[in-house]
Amino acid sequence: MAQRTYNVLFLCTGNSARSIMAEALIGHWGMGRFHGYSAGSQPKGTVHPLALQLLESLNFPTADLRSKSWGEFARPGAPQMDFVFTVCDNAAAEVCPIWPGQPMTAHWGVADPAAVEGDEVTRVQAFRTALRELENRIRIFAALPIGSLDTLRLQEELDAIGGKTAATANAGDPRS
């Protein structure tokens, strides 16, 4: 029997950094079980160069990553989402579109690396920290036995992942 592929949408206001990185990460850590998407309520229209640089340095594919509106995923014919995760506090506080299929949702807030000011080292470190936090959460999510959890238990697990910190999973990651 073929394994089901779940569609996952990561939302952020600008869709230029965190949600983009999450889209790339779920493709890798999901190992074919998940197809990732990202979008923003007020997309910047471009992907932040430091997000692309970091993902490329870690050999993640970036060619198809683009900043886009969450409206693309609320219209007829859009891929039906199984999960929708907000990764920034602003997007979590906004009124989201009605997603076809009533996907499960959770908030996995991560500090905005694009908002960090300072020298290049400081800004790059902010992107690495955000990527590590997202990666830890996505790895935990991808390991869940989704098909064997009832809806209430799965929602509890999704919410708990949002409360995880970068230190809770793979703290010794050499990429940090």
Residue, of 76 and 156, whose pLDDT is higher: 156
Catalytic annotation, pick one of 58, 74, 78, 96: 96
The pLDDT assigned to 91 comes to 61
The three-class DSSP label of residue 26 is: helix
Identify the structural domains of the chain with CATH numbers, from first to last: 6-167 (3.40.50.2300)
Prediction pTM value: 0.89
Catalytic annotation, pick one of 11, 87, 88, 140: 88
Instruction: Establish whether 109 is a catalytic residue.
Output: no
Determine the angle formed by the axes of helices 18-29 and 120-143, rounding to 10 degrees.
40
Average pLDDT over residues 30-57: 95
Instruction: Establish whether 88 is a catalytic residue.
Output: yes
For residues 104 and 127, the answer to whether their CB atoms sit within 8 Å is no
